Amino acid sequence: MATKVIAAKAGKVLDMLGSLHESLTPSAKRISDFVLAQPAEVTKFSIAELSQAVNAGEATIIRFCRTLGFKGFQDFKMELAIELSSLNQNEKSILDTDVMPDDGAELIGQKLHNTINNVLGETLNLLNFETLESVAKQVQSAKGIYFFGVGSSGITAEDAKNKLMRIGYNVDALTNNHFMYMKASLLQSDDMAIAISHSGNSVETTKALQLAKEAGATTVAITHNPRSAITAFADAVLVNGNRQGKLQGDSIGTKISQLFVLDLVYALLVKDDVTGTQANKMKTTQAIEN
């Protein structure tokens, strides 16, 4: 399969580098790491200076820029400078740092709150909203919608099932690999499979989406890495953010960003059928209360 070219727009360069990091070659990772660590310095470098700093040839740097959708290094530098001009790089807030062992509960709370804001902003930068709206339209017309995910992403799948079931959709969530494979292999052309994998490299979830695609269903991947294995079997890819500290792990950033993407789909469905979704939600609420 040919490498997908992801074009980064002004204000999205750093987020896109973080999203693509795991799918980059070793030399491209060195370039990416340097840019993420010292973006302001990179905007002042010549290509020869960056080549020396990252121990990579100038041709490698040009390929790196082109794989992000830029014409070359100068184009990349200009877009990076535009992005940095809207950020205050010299006054990094203490709330942008990792949770530290000597932090009190209140400071940790403030840092996690800031993490949520950051990861939601990153997700908005990475999402393609035309794709998002297209996915919502396909959900509306699907006979059945099936969410696939394992581990933490399986919990997200269950939450998505709950939301869509409450407003009247024929939906299920499968989080056991054997059940995913069986259901995926039996899907039809009017069904929809939505696979959730933050890394995009979950073997179980990727296989389930592959089986669903081979069966003829419409397939969607929700992942942080738009060049990961799972995207090879997705008709549409929705990219979620991951901006979080090392000590926070999957506790906040990953979960919030996945739920945010699915909540956007949910909101689009409600927007297009306010009366019907409200009526269905009232029925399901009354059924639970009674």
Segment 48-74, tens digit of pLDDT: 999 999 999 999 999 999 988 899 999
Is 248's pLDDT higher than 50? no
For residue 89, what pLDDT is reported?
A: 47
More confident position, 98 or 193: 193
Confidence of residue 158 (pLDDT cuts 50, 70, 90): very high
For residue 93, what pLDDT is reported?
A: 55
Give the rounded percent of residues in the chain with a pLDDT score beyond 90.
63
For residue 150, what pLDDT is reported?
A: 96
Q: Check: CB of residue 99 under 8 Å from CB of residue 248.
A: yes
For residue 251, what pLDDT is reported?
A: 56
Which of 32, 56, 85 is the C-terminal boundary of a domain?
85
Claim to verify: residue 269 and residue 138 sit in the same structural domain: yes
Q: Check: CB of residue 277 under 8 Å from CB of residue 168.
A: yes
Q: Check: CB of residue 196 under 8 Å from CB of residue 205.
A: yes
For residue 21, what pLDDT is reported?
A: 86
In this structure, of 1-5, 110-114, 146-150, 199-203, the range with the lowest mean pLDDT score is: 1-5
For residue 52, what pLDDT is reported?
A: 94
Is 97's pLDDT higher than 80? no
Which of 53, 69, 85 is the C-terminal boundary of a domain?
85
Give the rounded percent of residues in the chain with a pLDDT score beyond 70.
89
Read off the pLDDT of residues 118-148 as tens digits, 9 standing for 90 and up.
Answer: 889 889 989 999 999 999 999 999 999 999 9
Claim to verify: residue 138 and residue 76 sit in the same structural domain: no
For residue 28, what pLDDT is reported?
A: 93
Q: What is the mean pLDDT of residues 210-218?
A: 98
Around Cβ 150, how many Cβ atoms within 10 Å?
A: 21
The domain of 76 spans 13-85
- Whether 43 maps to a domain, the answer reads yes
For residue 46, what pLDDT is reported?
A: 94
Counting the structural domains of the chain, the total is 2
Around Cβ 158, how many Cβ atoms within 10 Å?
A: 15
Claim to verify: residue 158 and residue 245 sit in the same structural domain: yes
- Whether 96 maps to a domain, the answer reads no
List the CATH number of the domain containing 37. Answer: 1.10.10.10
DSSP 3-state helix, strand, coil percentages of the chain (rounded to 5)?
60, 10, 30
For residue 99, what pLDDT is reported?
A: 76
pTM recorded for the entire structure: 0.82
Q: Check: CB of residue 191 under 8 Å from CB of residue 144.
A: yes
Which of 56, 85, 114 is the C-terminal boundary of a domain?
85
- Whether 7 maps to a domain, the answer reads no
Mean pLDDT score across all residues of the chain = 88
For residue 3, what pLDDT is reported?
A: 44
